[in-house]
């Protein structure tokens, strides 16, 4: 039954692509259900689905035009099974890698498809094995003419077609699951994108958290990004996650990307065991 449901979701996705124009597809439909606002607000499970919000300078965009977008869910640990999302990205972006399933859905069946400026992401299973964390990632490439002030939105667009609808439900398909779904599509989506900030970010060796100081917070953030990349990595779900500029600042030992040696070297600098950063 659940497998058939996933197949119908994928079939509808193919049909939708043949019928929709790209220009119309980026406008989200209003989610409709039989529940009142009060019932949805009282939902036992209130998940949040967050899309990466990435801010980089024009210089960073030129150096690293390929950026990874993450879809992260929270507030639904062990509560969901079936999901289906249409994610549209700015037509100026180029999809350079197929969507990859994340740790949050490793115990579920997963499937994805893509065409033009849309990816479709789906899961299914027999039990509520979905957890909080990164559900999906995919990489896009910025255009060569990206300039300061540009914004490239990436958005979940709810679609309800004849054969099926986008979903976020539990294995039982009961009222708790349907209310959870209603909450997500009416209150629980934080869309994101890539913004090109003005100016050029200044380099300060050791300043991993980009607060213009070198302190123990930089050591901690480096270790957090290494131990828990889903939360604190460059596309992590936590608002204090390390950025591409922070990673560039943090690479103070050798020149091979950040490792635990970078954190240790910053600690040694703070203890005046090394004279200056970086140490090459």
Letter string b/e over residues 164-195, b meaning 16 or more CB atoms within 10 A of that residue's CB: bbbbbbbbebeeebbbbbbbbbbebbebbbbe
Rounded Cα gap, residues 184 and 170, in angstroms: 13
Letter string b/e over residues 12-51, b meaning 16 or more CB atoms within 10 A of that residue's CB: bbeebbeebeeeebbebeebeeebeeeebeebebbbbbbb
199 band by pLDDT with thresholds 50, 70 and 90: low
Rounded Cα gap, residues 167 and 178, in angstroms: 9
Rounded Cα gap, residues 202 and 261, in angstroms: 23
Q: Over 80: is that where the pLDDT of 177 sits?
A: yes
Rounded Cα gap, residues 101 and 85, in angstroms: 13
Q: Which residue has the tokens 């991993």?
A: 208
Q: Over 90: is that where the pLDDT of 202 sits?
A: no
30 band by pLDDT with thresholds 50, 70 and 90: low
Q: 63-78: per-residue pLDDT in tens? A: 899 999 999 999 999 9
> Distances in Å between the alpha carbon of 52 and those of 73, 90, 141, 175, 273?
11, 14, 15, 30, 38
pLDDT of residue 33: 85
Q: Is 269:206 a contact under the CB 8 Å cutoff?
A: yes
Q: Which residues contact 128 (CB under 8 A, 6 or more apart)?
A: 78, 79, 80, 81, 170, 171
pLDDT of residue 148: 85
Tell me which DSSP letter residue 36 carries: -
Closest CA to 9 of 78, 82, 72: 82
Q: 222-276: per-residue pLDDT in tens? A: 999 999 988 888 877 787 888 878 888 999 998 778 999 999 999 999 999 988 8
Is this prediction's pTM over 0.85? no
Mean pLDDT of 152-161: 90
Helices (H), the chain: 2-19, 22-25, 37-41, 58-63, 175-187, 216-227, 229-232, 244-250, 260-270
Q: Is 218:207 a contact under the CB 8 Å cutoff?
A: yes
Rounded Cα gap, residues 71 and 137, in angstroms: 6
Q: Domains in the chain and their CATH numbers? A: 2-197 (2.60.40.680), 202-280 (1.10.1330.10)
Q: Over 50: is that where the pLDDT of 211 sits?
A: yes
Count CB atoms within 10 A of the CB of residue 161.
Answer: 16
Rounded Cα gap, residues 159 and 280, in angstroms: 52
- Rg (the chain; Cα; Å): 21
Rounded Cα gap, residues 59 and 84, in angstroms: 36
Q: Over 70: is that where the pLDDT of 13 sits?
A: no
% pLDDT > 70, the chain: 87
């Amino acid at each position: 039954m659940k497998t058939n449901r996933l197949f119908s979701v994928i079939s509808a996705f193919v049909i939708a692509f043949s019928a929709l124009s790209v220009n119309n597809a980026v406008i989200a439909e209003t989610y409709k259900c039989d529940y009142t606002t009060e019932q949805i607000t009282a939902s036992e499970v209130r998940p949040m689905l967050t899309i990466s919000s990435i801010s980089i300078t024009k210089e960073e965009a030129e150096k690293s035009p390929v950026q990874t977008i993450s879809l992260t869910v929270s507030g639904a640990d062990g509560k969901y099974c079936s999901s289906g999302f249409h994610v549209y990205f700015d037509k100026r972006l180029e999809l350079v890698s197929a969507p990859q399933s994340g740790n949050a859905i490793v115990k579920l069946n997963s499937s994805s498809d893509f065409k033009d400026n849309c990816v479709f992401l789906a899961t299914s299973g027999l039990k509520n094995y979905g957890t909080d964390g990164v559900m999906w990632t995919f990489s896009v490439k910025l255009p060569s003419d990206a300039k300061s002030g540009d914004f490239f939105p990436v958005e979940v667009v709810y679609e309800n077609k004849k054969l099926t609808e986008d979903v976020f439900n539990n294995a039982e398909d009961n009222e708790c699951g349907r209310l959870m779904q209603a909450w997500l599509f009416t209150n629980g989506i934080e869309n994101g994108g890539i913004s090109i900030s003005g100016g050029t970010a200044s380099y300060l060796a050791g300043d991993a958290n980009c607060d213009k100081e070198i302190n123990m917070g930089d050591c901690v953030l480096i270790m957090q990004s290494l131990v828990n990349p889903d939360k604190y990595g460059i596309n992590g779900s936590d608002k204090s996650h390390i950025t591409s500029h922070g990673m560039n600042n943090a690479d103070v030992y050798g020149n091979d990307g950040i490792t635990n040696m970078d954190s240790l070297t910053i600690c040694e600098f703070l203890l005046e065991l090394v004279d200056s950063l970086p140490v090459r």
